Amino acid sequence: QKADLILYDGLVNPLLLRHSSATAERTCRSFTPSGPVLDQDEINQRLIAAARDGKTVVRLKGGDPFIFGRGSEEAAALVEASIPFEVVPGITAATASGAYAGISLTHRDMASSVAFITGHEDPSKSEKSIDYENLAAFEGTLVFYMGLHRLERIVENLLAAGKSPDVPACVISRASTPAQQTVSAPLNELVSVVRAAKLSPPSLILVGECVRQRESIAWFEKRPLFGKRIGITRPAQQAGPALARALELGAQP
C-alpha cells in the first residue's frame, strides 16, 4: 500500500496488486514496455536505482523468495549496495500446492520427511548436484519445482535409480487458482497421463505415498463454480463483494 514501485513476477496473482496505491508504478519482470524480460542483473539494478532515488520498493514474488526464488541473490545485491531491506516470508509453492490438491506433504503413517528439489538446475553449472540414487531411496515425499518440461527425464532418472514404478505421483498445475489442474498416476504412468491432460506451467511434481490422500480429501477442485469463467458487470471500484464471492465459489473472474 505504501510502495512507490512494485516489481513483480509474472506468476504473482494479479489480485494482490489491487492492494497497491493508484499512484504506484507497477512493473512485471516478465513483461516490460521495451519488450524483453528483465534478467536477474537488471532486476537487481532496478531495485538499487529506485531505492537510491528515495522510493519505497516492493519486490513481489510468488511463493517464498528464499526457496527457488533467487531472493538471496537480490538481497546480496542490496547488501553490497548498502541498501536496507526487509524480507517477508511467503508460503512456498510446495505446501500451497499440496494443500490445494488435498495432499499433506507429511503424514504420521505415510511420510515423516519431505524433500524439495529443483527440476531446473542452473544450466551454467559444470556438474549436476541432484543425486537420484538418494532420492529413489528417500522414503518421504519428493517435490520437484519447475520440472514440467523435464518430467520425462525426472521420472526416468528416479526409475533407473530404483524408485518403485508403483509409487503414487501427481502433477499440480497452476495451483490455488481457478485454473488449477491435478493429475495422479503411478510413477511409471505419470508422463503419459500428464501429456494427455496437456498441463501447463507453473507446475509441481509430487512423488510419494502421501499423494494417495488426494482421493479422499481433495476439496478445492470440488467447489460449485470451480473453473467457470464469470463476468462481473460492474465498475471495478464496485466489483469487490461480487468478485470475492465468485472466488469463494471457485470461479475464474
Whether residue 214 sits in one domain with residue 109: yes
Instruction: Please tell me whether residues 115 and 211 are part of one structural domain.
Output: yes
Q: What is the pLDDT along the chain (253 residues), one digit of tens a residue?
A: 999 999 999 888 888 998 999 999 999 987 544 555 788 999 999 999 999 999 999 999 999 999 999 999 999 999 999 999 999 999 999 999 999 999 999 999 999 999 999 998 876 775 678 999 999 999 999 999 999 999 999 999 999 999 999 999 999 999 999 899 999 999 999 999 999 999 999 999 999 999 999 999 999 999 999 989 989 888 877 888 888 899 899 998 7
Q: What is the model's pTM?
A: 0.90
**Does one domain contain both 97 and 202?**
yes
Residue 131's domain comprises 93-220
Question: Could you write out the three-class secondary structure of the chain?
Answer: CCCCEEEECCCCCHHHHHHCCCCCEEEECCEECCECCCCHHHHHHHHHHHHHCCCCEEEECCCCCCCCCCHHHHHHHHHHCCCCCCCCCCCCHHHHHHHHHCCCCCECCCECCEEEEECCCCCCCCCCCCCHHHHHHCCCEEEEECCHHHHHHHHHHHHHCCCCCCCEEEEEECCCCCCCEEEEEEHHHHHHHHHHHCCCCCEEEEECHHHHHHHHHCCHHHCCCCCCECCCCCCHHHCHHHHHHHHHCCCEC
CATH assignment of the domain containing 164: 3.30.950.10
119 and 183 housed in the same domain: yes
